[in-house]
Structure 1
Amino acid sequence: MNDSNARIRLRVSNQKAYVWDVDDIATLRSKHHICGVLTGTLPHLSQQNVFLGVPLLLLPEEVVLLIEKELAVLVDDPSAHHAPSPSEIAKWNAERQRSVQEQAALAGAKEAKEAGRGMTEAAIQKRKEREEKRARAKAQAESSLLPQDTPIELTPTLPPPRPSTPSTSTPSPSFTYTLPIPASSSGYAWYDPGHDTYTTIAAAQSAGVWAYPATLYERARCAVFRDLWERGYFLGVGIKFGGDFLVYPGDPLRYHSHFVATVIESPVAALRPMEIVAHGRLGTATKKAHLLCGWDDEKKEVSHLSIEWAGFG
């Protein structure tokens, strides 16, 4: 893939690479065996520790692999933004208002269709007027916002007490709600990644946007990750099982991992017998084989050795 415009954009902030486009996330997982970790929250979902949303945070080894395979580019996301002009703000507000009205119209049409033939034309017209009025009010509130996460402060008043409730002299309390409205930056004139896009790791490191890998151990992790990835495996974080990576034979949503991989940065690195015993017992206890992955920085070769616990006598 030689065209950098066709590659997936990895937006870098604070030395971390994120993917915000849902289609790119699906492409990474289905075509390139790159899973990452979803880190965003989902509205109206209480169990945020179970189900998460965009953005997708990539492991540094995944980032290096995608750049070296010419599948993605690095974008210095903070530098790609600039302050919008008044005309750009007006255009953005107009587009948001039109989008809100279109979505409200589609929702109203869907509800009317689902309501079926049992509703009279008068009832359908009344519901349509309600939806249009709600959409106009929402669009009017949003049209006054800048294209950042600008909060809206609402101070609702409590309804008057019922006749049967005795009145009191205590004033009605007021509440302030902060409603952040996210604004998409991609595709607008104030977001221009053209001069802040890097197609190689070396270029991104020279610009100070990306620093990984910087040590022998980090280079070993990247080499081991690439070797296992090229063999067709999916890889994830392995720290909860005492290793560097979890190695899956297929998509982690369908398969359990078969190996826990530990990276050894040098052929002459010390490995204590107690570590071998611990890796073997832990791997067997979790129904996995432990994979010792060695890296020879001089020969640029990766070697693998699997260990399993076995009974004696």
Structure 2
Amino acid sequence: MSNDPPIHLRVANKKAFVWDVEDIATLRSKHRICGVLTGTLPHLSQQNLFLGVPLVLLPEEVVLLVENEIAVLLDDPKAHIQPSVIELQKWRVKEKELQQLQLSKVTTALGTSPMMMSEEAIRKRKEREAKKKAAAAAAAAAQLEILLSVPSKDPASATSADTQVTVIIPASSRSFDWYNDSASIYRTIDSAKAAEIWEYPSTLHERAKCGVFRGLWEQGMYMGGGIKFGGDYLVYPGDPLRYHAHFSATVLESPTSSLTPMEIVAHGRLGTVTKKSHLLCGWDDTKKEASFLSIEWAGFG
């Protein structure tokens, strides 16, 4: 149980999202919950390497956080109220005022007017086009590199680069009058199920995954998705940004579940090839206990 205000997990289409950057940092640093970032980042070409908010949580992470009273579920679509025409008009007026305020701050810092800035931009664009034509006509690659590497002598551009400008970032949609989450918060998994915004866990296998996840988490482990390594989870001894996973884990619905010799060999060899041990995690749904057995490929003789 945590004494901090509960973190809001915003549920849409039976998935839980975290939009607040501070909440994401708290979940990772204080509660060992990593999730997966899925949002795009502006001006970043490799969107498959670095992603941004929102953070999508595994359903097992959601259940753990809610049961430990660290977080609450929030029906995000229900929290959005249809704004009236008057509210939209007021919002547009505020947005226009904010844009004018930002423009005035920038022009004051640069000591130029919007018209002068526009003319300056046009002049610089023409200069760039002229340089490109000259570079294309150059005879040698060395001369081309020298031409393109000549720094600009324009004093106005030097002043712009050295001037610090404060840009105001608008508040999130939660500050709008037409967003009200007070009537759509659910503090237990059962109440969220009754409202039909959440349904996990609903089967024995899902209960087993939640129980195993909690068992590993209570031992101080970090967990991530393990599908790429042949398991349900990857188990880390510390933050995945600093450590490699020690185990790939597979969840079994019972501690007495049968395994074929081929499955044991496959798990052992796959874990060894990926420099991990494979963790077989059994769940006793009667006793509500998890048991763990690690297997690793080894030579004979």
Give TM-score, length-normalised by structure 2: 0.77
Structure 1: gaps (5+ residues) = 113-123, 134-181
Contact 1:105 1:132 in 2 (8 A): no
Q: CA deviation at 1:261?
A: 0.7
- 2:175 is paired with a residue whose SS is coil
Q: CA deviation at 1:80?
A: 1.2
Determine which of 111, 118, 125 is the counterpart of 2:111: 125
Q: CA deviation at 1:95?
A: 3.3
Q: CA deviation at 1:56?
A: 0.7
- 1:89 is paired with a residue whose SS is helix
Contact 1:281 1:308 in 2 (8 A): yes
2:283 aligns to what?
295
**What percentage of aligned pairs have identical amino acids?**
64
1:185 aligns with 2:185: no
Residues 54-98 of structure 1, C-alpha deviations (whole Å, 9 max, x = no match): 111110001001100101111111111121123322332233334
The alpha-carbon distance between structure 1 residues 273 and 19, as it changes in their structure 2 partners (threshold 3 A), is same
For 1:308 and 1:90, the matched residues in 2 are separated by 65
Higher helix share: 2
The alpha-carbon distance between structure 1 residues 2 and 237, as it changes in their structure 2 partners (threshold 3 A), is closer
The residue correspondences of 1:161-176 to structure 2 (distance < 5 A) are: none
Residues 178-236 of structure 1, C-alpha deviations (whole Å, 9 max, x = no match): xxxx9942122211111111000000001100000000000000011111111111100
2:247 aligns to what?
259
The residue correspondences of 1:1-313 to structure 2 (distance < 5 A) are: 6-105=5-104, 112=109, 124-126=110-112, 130=116, 184-313=172-301
2:141 aligns to what?
none
For 1:290 and 1:102, the matched residues in 2 are separated by 58
Instruction: Judge which range, 188-197 or 200-209, deviates more.
Output: 188-197
For 2:300 and 2:215, the matched residues in 1 are separated by 34
For 2:61 and 2:248, the matched residues in 1 are separated by 17
For 2:279 and 2:2, the matched residues in 1 are separated by 35
Structure 2: gaps (5+ residues) = 120-169
Contact 1:104 1:131 in 2 (8 A): no
The alpha-carbon distance between structure 1 residues 193 and 306, as it changes in their structure 2 partners (threshold 3 A), is same
- Read off the aligned partner of 2:28 and give its amino acid letter: R
Q: CA RMSD in A?
A: 2.4
The alpha-carbon distance between structure 1 residues 107 and 225, as it changes in their structure 2 partners (threshold 3 A), is farther
Contact 2:32 2:239 in 1 (8 A): yes
Q: CA deviation at 1:269?
A: 2.0
Q: CA deviation at 1:300?
A: 0.8
Contact 2:189 2:198 in 1 (8 A): yes
